[in-house]
Amino acid sequence: MGFLSDALSRIKPSATIVITQKARDLKAQGRDVISLSVGEPDFDTPDNIKEAAIAAIRRGETKYTPVSGIVPLREAISRKFKRENGLDYKPSQTIVSTGGKHVIYNALLATLNPGDEVIIPAPYWVSYPEMVGLCGGKPVFVDCTMEHNFKLQPEPLERAITPKTKWIILNSPSNPTGAAYTRDEMKAITDVLMRHPHVWVLTDDMYEHLTYGDFEFVTPAQVEPNLYERTLTMNGVSKAYAMTGWRIGYAGGPEHLIKAMDFVQGQQTSGTSAISQWAAVEALDGPQDHLKVFRKAFEERRDLVVSMLNQSKYLKCPMPEGAFYVYPSCAEAIGKTAPSGKVLATDEDFVSELLEAEGVAAVHGSAFGLGPNFRISYATSNAALEDACNRIQRFCGSLR
């Protein structure tokens, strides 16, 4: 009998973490590396949020909290959902966890039985299928091609649903593609789900506030109110408020599901950091002026990166609606020979040779379930992005 759990054989390490660590190791060796692999805003947490945390410490808000979160934060979450999404969630219908990943994991752990299926549109955030597998479920992937701007189409969704389908996970704007669903596109998806009342919707809205131009964000239960009773609407403060290290995710949903998640969380972590929760109250209730600054900077960076990548030999890069990622195709580079003499057989070969030759760290698309593509995070300075894109152009130009 082996010591380690068989569950470990069902999951893979996070490709984004692996690539990011490799970039760090090369930097430590003295290499000039530009890392575009990590999904983290380069902005600092706004000062009003920091001050709220400091004030909480001075008030002595440093004790254990209720498992589902402090009442003021759950009330702030209810106000946020009503104000920004038109969704009525009572505080008792909300839960606070240690980041958005924890929310999703708790929901899956509380609901999945062995063999239950979870539909995951591909490309997907690398953790979705691994969490499903850890919880004993079966990921069912539906390819969303560049032809359709990486967005799920109603017909393949309909074909993927079976009597065993428990959940569908939707992420808009998307990690890794930045693709976001318009109201009409989301309605086409929710129309399918209305025909299958046994399927629940887990929507990851973490990049809600990072959309560009005139794009209007929508979430499934907002578009189709009849899905409200079988939708878990997940969000957090990490991206829009540059609070990745504060570890606060939250969700609203049917009270019986929230209670089940609370039950699971009570035997995992209990309540998350009290200080972070008080900071999150200020994030949700306080001034939102920084969002315009964030959006303007990210939109400029997106436009720069898309333009420069589309000037690169062998690359095609769609223009995403949101988040801070682009997902260019490197299909035309497959089969070419890199300066090292290696023939590029996969998108993983492409990003590996790019890192070795030019010191640019990106993540291969096959890690997200659809290639040959690669993901670039443009959550860094314009100067670094321009330098990185020049290196990518040089690398692509060197392929033979």
Residues 129, 32 share a domain:
no
Q: Which of 268, 285, 302 is the last residue of a domain?
A: 285
Q: How far apart are CA 130 and CA 141, in angstroms?
A: 13
Please tell me whether residues 170 and 207 are part of one structural domain: yes
- Does 155 share its domain with 34? no
Look at residue 54 and tell me if it is in a domain.
no
Q: Average the pLDDT over 309-335 and give the result.
A: 98
Confidence label for 19 from pLDDT (cuts 50, 70 and 90): confident
The domain in which residue 35 lies consists of: 6-44+290-398
Neighbouring C-beta atoms of residue 319, cutoff 10 Å = 15
Alpha-helix runs per DSSP H in the chain: 15-28, 47-58, 71-85, 100-111, 127-134, 154-160, 183-194, 220-223, 255-266, 274-285, 290-310, 347-358, 382-398
pLDDT at residue 2 is higher than 90: no
pLDDT in tens, 207-247: 999 999 999 999 999 999 999 999 999 999 999 999 999 99
**278 and 316 together in one domain:** no
- Same structural domain for residues 80 and 38? no
Residue 52 forms part of a structural domain? no
State residue 329's pLDDT score: 98
Whether 154 is covered by a domain: the verdict is yes
123 inside domain? yes
Residue 17 has pLDDT above 80, yes or no: no
Indicate whether 266 and 319 sit together in one domain: no
270 and 361 together in one domain: no
Same domain, 302 and 362: yes
CATH of the domain at 110: 3.40.640.10
Per the CB < 8 A criterion, the answer to whether 372 and 145 are in contact is no
Query: How far is the C-alpha of 23 from the C-alpha of 141, rounded, in Å?
Result: 30
Q: What is the pLDDT of residues 276-313, one digit of tens each?
A: 999 999 999 999 999 999 999 999 999 999 999 999 99
Say if residues 118 and 169 touch (Cβ distance below 8 Å).
yes
Please count the structural domains in the chain. 2
- Structural domain contains residue 49: no
In the numeric block, which tokens belong to residue 124? 């997907």
Q: Dihedral through CA 227, CA 220, CA 209, CA 269, nearest 10?
A: 50
Residue 7 binned pLDDT confidence (cut-offs 50, 70, 90): confident
* Same domain, residue pair 313 and 253: no
Structure confidence by residue, pLDDT tens digits, 49-79:
999 999 999 999 999 999 999 999 999 999 9
Cα 111 to chain centroid distance, Å, stands at 21
Domain identity same for 229 and 316: no
Averaged pLDDT for residues 251-264: 98
The chain-wide mean pLDDT, for the chain, equals 96
Query: Where is the domain boundary, 285, 319, 343?
Result: 285
The answer on 320 and 298 residing in a single domain is yes
Query: In this structure, what are the phi and psi dihedrals at residue 174, rounded to the nearest 5 degrees?
Result: -95, 140
Would 51 be classed as within a structural domain? no
Residue 312 lies in a domain: yes
Question: Where are the alpha helices (H) located in 254-313, listed in sequence order?
Answer: 255-266, 274-285, 290-310
Select from 222, 250, 285 the last residue of a domain.
285
298 and 280 co-located in one domain: no
